[in-house]
Amino acid sequence: MKKLYGTVVPIVTPFDESGKIDVGSLKNLAEYIIESGLQCIYPCGTTGEMCLLSEDERKLVVETVVRQVNHRIPVFAQVGAMTEKETVELARHAVKTGCDGIGVVTPIYFQISDRGLVDFYVRVAQSVPSDFPVYLYGIPQNAVNDISFQVAQEVAARCPNIVGMKYSYPDMTRLQEFMLINQETFSVLVGPDHLFQAVVAAGGDGVVSGNAMVLAEHYREIWKALQAGEWDVARKIQRRTNVLNRILCEKNNISAYKVMLREKGILCFAAVRAPLENLSVEEERDLIERMRELDYTRVIG
């Protein structure tokens, strides 16, 4: 079964002037990720405003990306939703559409026990073919529910297609615990970008990074350096991305990504969906100027 590695990009969902999915910009974005040399596209995640999209919109996004990518790099769709029924429907749709695998965020808002989380993940994993890769997705600061080592270990033992997880909380101890699952074959990727180099050095498989849409050159070179064992080079580039990422994430990071992607000519519009807030004209101008002042596309190493 396929596993994620390197830089996995949780792409934004572009909207047009009327607030509908901008299919043309979405195709441009998918093409840009491929041409940038990054390893995987991950639609309908947190960065893709998943909770603000209808089921039909999420299906349209996944279908568009899969067709555009056409097997050139893996596509793993994030299918976790407000209800288990919708999660299962989106998981089955991902299989039917031709995705290479799925990510499944924990149930959100309502607190679930560890037993409830295990049962949820087993049911979702068993709703798709036994050889279709499933990644757990933990982001407790947003979703309320967290994934413990014990939960991940049990679901991985019960469902062979649960092959790894994306963990978006900066806890290195827990990240390394996850790496012990299934005789240390469990795939672990980190969400917080500043831990990319550290997690890979500790035995992890990569990062799931929205910032990589704007800073693709840097993430490509970090991964290249890590693969070559050039730890000093990777560390230098990582530290530069940390500075740039801090600027991108100061206010609304999703809006900032869209502004910079519009600036690059990849998206037509930079709107996010309410109740998320767009950057003001002044904030957009300040963001672009500060990134340019730092010569943000220049990779050091």
Say what the pLDDT of residue 300 is: 87
Contact 192, 242 (CB under 8 A): no
Contact 258, 272 (CB under 8 A): yes
At residue 185, what is the residue type? T
Query: In terms of C-beta density within 10 A (0-12 exposed, 13-18 middle, 19 or more buried), how is residue 194 classed?
Result: middle
Contact 5, 205 (CB under 8 A): yes
Left (φ > 0), alpha (ψ -120 to 50) or beta: where does 281 sit?
alpha
Distance CA 73, CA 52 (A): 26
Write out the chain's pLDDT in tens, 301 residues. Answer: 999 999 999 999 999 999 999 999 999 999 999 999 999 999 999 999 999 999 999 999 999 999 999 999 999 999 999 999 999 999 999 999 999 999 999 999 999 999 999 999 999 999 999 999 999 999 999 999 999 999 999 999 999 999 999 999 999 999 999 999 999 999 999 999 999 999 999 999 999 999 999 999 999 999 999 999 999 999 999 999 999 999 999 999 999 999 999 999 999 999 999 999 999 999 999 999 999 999 999 998 7
Say what the pLDDT of residue 77 is: 98
Say what the pLDDT of residue 200 is: 97
Distance CA 50, CA 44 (A): 5
| Known active-site residue 166 | yes
Global pTM value: 0.96
The active-site residue out of 3, 121, 135, 166 is 166
SS3 state of residue 222: helix
The active-site residue out of 32, 135, 137, 167 is 137
Say what the pLDDT of residue 291 is: 98
